[in-house]
């Protein structure tokens, strides 16, 4: 079989001791996920769509996660499946003898069911992230389509993914082996993540068009939406130096790192905002242990760890839990920085972003995002840019293995 280049799915400093004046009241989130609810309302109109799960048309059962490791799914919960995507997943599954939920798991880890479709630096694009080379080999037309298969077309992409996965199953002997090859041949966590998502969809734990079935209020903006912090906003005022302000188990889906206080007037040199983001990224394996230096205002683009991608304010087209947000502070050269924790829809084309922070009176900050720019709910802290971690960006080490990318 022809070898194809596959890009692994990779489907947020120094803040000097200056008074941090909080000039606005923090809002605690946005409106419910309107798009998800609208999709839920229309689920009954989709042939075969159901919020109760089930393999649906697949001759093969959904394998358990078992001992496969997980990575992205530890912090990024499965998004509800839009009804149009569900119909294509089910149709492709029936045609190729696969569980529909496995295709949904692939669609979830690749683009969050089309929420984050863009062309990466290696040319992978479309809802199922095919490179041109892989598309030439595995691309097919969806039923009722004519002309040339289009990898940017939802239906063509999903049916082509079904074609690819089925061929890999036939060659490798199992869904797990097929997913391992699909994910690059060595990314065992890719298998675990896809199976985790697949089992969530298959069991009905996450339904069509709503989190936890129709009527759910959950959901998020994209593939890396994360999970809302569970211990309030945190308050370091009056806390002793080194005191715990926010437990790591309370943010990043229970997999965050501790946030500490500096004592005194809150601000200090030991538990910097930059110290938190560096410690968090090192713990996740997204940055080398030697990563140091930089100030909050410019960290998003300065000394970027290998594999990470930066976007400036005004061109922030994607966000994921774990990304680094940089911002200025008045006319100072230092600014502030934190880690994106949760992204919540707040209306059409609008989201509220929750950020974990250190060396400030409040551990959790909030921002409004319109898909391009972020505005802090704290006045005087203009966002300068974002650094996307390697598990949320379409970069990483290419491998020479057959797959969608």
**CATH (domain of 328):** 3.90.1720
Q: What is the pLDDT of residue 90?
A: 92
pLDDT digits (tens, 9 = 90+) for 198-210: 988 887 655 554 3
Judgement on whether residues 121 and 11 belong to the same structural domain of the protein: no
Full residue range of the structural domain in which residue 261 is found: 5-32+223-388
**CATH (domain of 130):** 1.10.530.10
pLDDT at 394 over 90: no
Judgement on whether residues 227 and 203 belong to the same structural domain of the protein: no
- Which of 218, 239, 257 lies at the terminal end of a domain, its last residue? 218
Is residue 401, in this structure, part of any structural domain at all? no
Is residue 360, in this structure, part of any structural domain at all? yes
Judgement on whether residues 249 and 348 belong to the same structural domain of the protein: yes
Judgement on whether residues 214 and 228 belong to the same structural domain of the protein: no
- Surface-to-core class of residue 400, CB atoms within 10 Å of its CB (0-12 exposed, 13-18 middle, 19+ buried): exposed
At which residue do the structure tokens 């120094």 appear? 14
Judgement on whether residues 18 and 79 belong to the same structural domain of the protein: no
Q: What is the pLDDT of residue 38?
A: 30
Judgement on whether residues 173 and 306 belong to the same structural domain of the protein: no
Is residue 400, in this structure, part of any structural domain at all? no
Judgement on whether residues 194 and 254 belong to the same structural domain of the protein: no
Distance CA 169, CA 244 (A): 49
Q: Give me the number of domains the chain comprises.
A: 2
pLDDT digits (tens, 9 = 90+) for 63-109: 999 999 998 888 777 888 888 888 999 999 999 999 999 999 999 98
Q: What is the dihedral of CA 35, 370, 225, 126, to 10 degrees?
A: 80
Query: How many beta carbons lie within 10 A of that of residue 289, not counting itself?
Result: 8
pLDDT digits (tens, 9 = 90+) for 7-18: 333 332 222 222
Of all residues in the chain, what percent carry a pLDDT higher than 70? 73
Is residue 93, in this structure, part of any structural domain at all? yes
Range with lowest mean pLDDT among 33-42, 60-69, 157-166: 33-42
Which residues in 361-392 are b (16+ Cβ under 10 Å) and which e?
bbbbbbbbbeeeebbbbbeebbbbbbbbbbbb
Is residue 393, in this structure, part of any structural domain at all? no
Residue 239 banded pLDDT, cuts 50, 70, 90 = confident
Judgement on whether residues 259 and 124 belong to the same structural domain of the protein: no
Pick the more confident residue, 318 or 295: 295
Contact present, 182 and 193 (Cβ < 8 Å): no
- Going by C-beta distance under 8 Å and a sequence separation of 6 or more, which residues neighbour residue 260? 242, 243, 244, 245, 270, 271, 358
- Give the pairing of strands 259-260 and 244-246: antiparallel
pLDDT at 396 over 80: no
Is residue 41, in this structure, part of any structural domain at all? no
Judgement on whether residues 125 and 189 belong to the same structural domain of the protein: yes
> How open is the CA angle 151-157-161, to the nearest 5 degrees?
125
pLDDT at 47 over 60: no
Distance CA 43, CA 129 (A): 25
Judgement on whether residues 124 and 235 belong to the same structural domain of the protein: no
- Surface-to-core class of residue 224, CB atoms within 10 Å of its CB (0-12 exposed, 13-18 middle, 19+ buried): buried
First to last CA, the chain: 15
Judgement on whether residues 179 and 114 belong to the same structural domain of the protein: yes
Range with lowest mean pLDDT among 6-20, 190-204, 264-278: 6-20
Residue 319 banded pLDDT, cuts 50, 70, 90 = confident
- Which of 193, 218, 243 lies at the terminal end of a domain, its last residue? 218
Size of the chain in residues: 405
Stretch 230-239: mean pLDDT? 89
Query: Tell me, what DSSP letter sits at residue 2?
Result: -
Judgement on whether residues 68 and 198 belong to the same structural domain of the protein: yes
Of 295, 276, 269, the closest CA to residue 356 belongs to 276
Is residue 403, in this structure, part of any structural domain at all? no
Q: What is the pLDDT of residue 69?
A: 92
- Which of 218, 249, 266 lies at the terminal end of a domain, its last residue? 218
DSSP 273-301: HHHHHHHHHHHHTSS-TT----BTTTTTT
Is residue 44, in this structure, part of any structural domain at all? no
């Amino acid at each position: 079989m022809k070898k194809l280049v596959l890009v692994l799915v990779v489907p947020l400093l120094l803040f000097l001791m200056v008074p941090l004046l909080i000039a606005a009241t923090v809002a605690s989130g946005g409106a419910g996920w309107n798009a998800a609810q609208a999709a839920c309302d229309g689920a009954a109109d989709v042939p075969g769509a159901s919020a109760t799960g089930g393999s649906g048309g697949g001759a093969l059962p959904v394998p358990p996660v078992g001992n496969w490791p997980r990575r992205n799914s530890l912090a990024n919960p499965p998004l509800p499946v839009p009804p149009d995507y569900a119909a294509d997943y089910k149709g492709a599954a029936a045609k190729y003898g696969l569980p529909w939920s496995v295709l949904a798991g692939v669609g979830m880890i690749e683009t969050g069911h089309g929420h984050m479709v863009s062309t990466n630096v290696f040319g992978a694009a479309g809802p199922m992230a095919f490179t041109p080379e892989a598309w030439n080999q595995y691309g097919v037309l969806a039923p009722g389509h004519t002309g040339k298969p289009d990898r940017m077309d939802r239906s063509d992409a999903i049916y082509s993914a079904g074609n690819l996965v089925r061929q890999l199953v036939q060659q490798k002997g199992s869904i797990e082996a097929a997913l391992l090859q699909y994910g690059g041949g060595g990314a065992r966590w890719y298998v675990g993540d896809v199976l985790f998502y697949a089992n969530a969809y298959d069991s009905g734990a996450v339904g069509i068009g709503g989190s936890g079935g129709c009527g759910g209020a959950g959901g998020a903006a994209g593939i890396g939406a994360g999970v809302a912090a569970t211990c309030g906003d945190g308050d370091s005022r009056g806390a002793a130096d080194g005191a715990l302000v926010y437990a790591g188990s309370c943010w990043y889906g229970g997999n965050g790192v501790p946030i500490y206080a500096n004592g005194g007037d809150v601000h200090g040199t030991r538990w910097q905002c930059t110290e938190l983001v560096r410690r968090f990224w090192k713990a996740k394996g997204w940055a080398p242990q030697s990563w140091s230096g930089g100030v909050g205002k410019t960290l998003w683009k300065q000394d970027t760890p290998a594999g990470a991608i930066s976007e400036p304010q005004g061109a922030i087209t994607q966000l994921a839990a774990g990304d680094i947000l940089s911002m200025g502070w008045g006319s100072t050269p230092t600014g502030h920085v934190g880690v994106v924790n949760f992204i919540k829809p707040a209306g059409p084309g609008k989201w509220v972003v929750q950020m974990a922070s250190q060396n400030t009176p409040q551990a959790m900050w909030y921002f409004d995002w319109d898909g391009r720019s972020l505005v802090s709910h704290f006045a005087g802290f203009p966002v300068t840019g974002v650094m996307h971690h390697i598990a949320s960006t379409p970069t990483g080490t290419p491998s020479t293995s057959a797959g969608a990318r």
